[in-house]
Structure 1
């Protein structure tokens, strides 16, 4: 008889505030034996892990949960990334083959610019996988600002960075969300500033104690920075 394999969960842990985890995410985290929490370097703690830790402190103290932390470096070298994704997938597969359920935690939602997607593609044909949605950074930012992202028939555009496609999107979208605003240079931001019909608001570290709302682009550009560009009312 074949041994039953574990189940992999891709769990969105929201934008930063522990209280914004869903009830379902909390329930799963407190009932699985293994959490996979990727981090950008061996010396840094995962932001996603810092979000969920308050909910699983007792399990950690009692050694009732194992935390594995593969490194996903901040690089655009595809070969280097592929190597680390494979290492992480193999590590997770070993736990799943042992019959252990694994929760892969990721900032925001697992379906939006998430590292989970790379692992999912490598393992989806071998194991049962469930995605658990989380609150996205841009909806959290809109709440912090206190304004709707879109209304009626308006078009919302979500982009990872400003590039050659952006000007066309800027002309046609009613609201533009720059998800990874820290990657944009001043030169690229100047392209946006030329469109004086837009209102630009940036949010650093949304929902966290050091949250900061800025009119225009962020100067400091911490990693968790999102910029919302809205068309001015006509």
Structure 2
């Protein structure tokens, strides 16, 4: 009986290859199969572009099996469930042959990661190892050379705006708006109208060659944009 392979989830960080952890790099130097999700067939996988310099140093580079499943940006939960089920079974096919599989994901494996959906589906069937990565918002704070929170500050991470933000806005000290391109001008206006003194900045394509730091909210809003709001003490 063939021993099943291990699934290894790898957070590849925000964009700069040098921000990969040593542990992630060691796995990528030898793993035979790499799954790298992307949002559309014609689009490049950003996660794959981050790890490619590591892969190209391998003597067996041309033999690496690279699979790029499509995870479209849709909100239909039933359709998403089908996509995650299908991707999980595709990963399982490789694991059943005894090969280890690395599933790479932008940022960290535990923060709004596609990997988490496969992880839950395969947890009871295979050995799984999860390697964390640097998050986009900590990289943004580093790019600005500022702390996100200090002492007893409360940090709130917002992936998408909904009514819940109304209930927590007054209690938070710093807000991270993930994927700011999805966030509404209504929320931006509410934050600007908050009477507390605040600092707002946005970072586009953090740690990549075209990184751009903007004071205030970004009006261009490319996909890889994060906005950070820091309320100051009275």
Fold shared by both chains (TM-score > 0.5): yes
Over residues 96-145 of structure 1, what are the superposed CA-to-partner deviations in whole Å (9 max), with x where a residue is unaligned? Answer: 00000000000000000000010111111100111101000010000011
Q: Which residue of the partner structure matches residue 92 of structure 1?
A: 91
Change (3 A) 1:95 1:193: same
* Number of matched pairs: 233
Secondary structure of 2:47's counterpart equals helix
Secondary structure of 2:63's counterpart equals coil
- Paired with 1:200 and 1:181, the residues of 2 have a C-alpha distance of 13
Is the CA contact (8 Å cut-off) linking 2:8 and 2:103 kept in structure 1?
A: yes
Is the CA contact (8 Å cut-off) linking 1:5 and 1:96 kept in structure 2?
A: yes
Change (3 A) 1:60 1:12: farther
Q: Which residue of the partner structure matches residue 28 of structure 1?
A: 27
1:176 and 2:188 are equivalent in the alignment: no
- Paired with 2:203 and 2:41, the residues of 1 have a C-alpha distance of 27
1:226 and 2:220 are equivalent in the alignment: no
Correspondences of 1:74-93 after superposition (within 5 Å): 74-93=73-92
Q: TM-score, normalised by structure 2?
A: 0.96
Is the CA contact (8 Å cut-off) linking 1:167 and 1:191 kept in structure 2?
A: no
Over residues 190-232 of structure 1, what are the superposed CA-to-partner deviations in whole Å (9 max), with x where a residue is unaligned? Answer: 1221114232111111111111111111111111111111012
Q: Which residue of the partner structure matches residue 204 of structure 1?
A: 204
Change (3 A) 1:232 1:142: same
1:61 Cα deviation after fit: 6.7
Q: TM-score, normalised by structure 1?
A: 0.96
Secondary structure of 2:52's counterpart equals helix
Is the CA contact (8 Å cut-off) linking 1:59 and 1:65 kept in structure 2?
A: no
1:156 Cα deviation after fit: 1.1
1:147 and 2:146 are equivalent in the alignment: yes
Provide structure 2 residue ranges, at least 5 long, that are not aligned to the other structure.
Answer: none
Dislocated runs of 4+, deviation >6 Å: none
Provide structure 1 residue ranges, at least 5 long, that are not aligned to the other structure.
Answer: none
Is the CA contact (8 Å cut-off) linking 2:13 and 2:108 kept in structure 1?
A: yes
Secondary structure of 2:53's counterpart equals helix
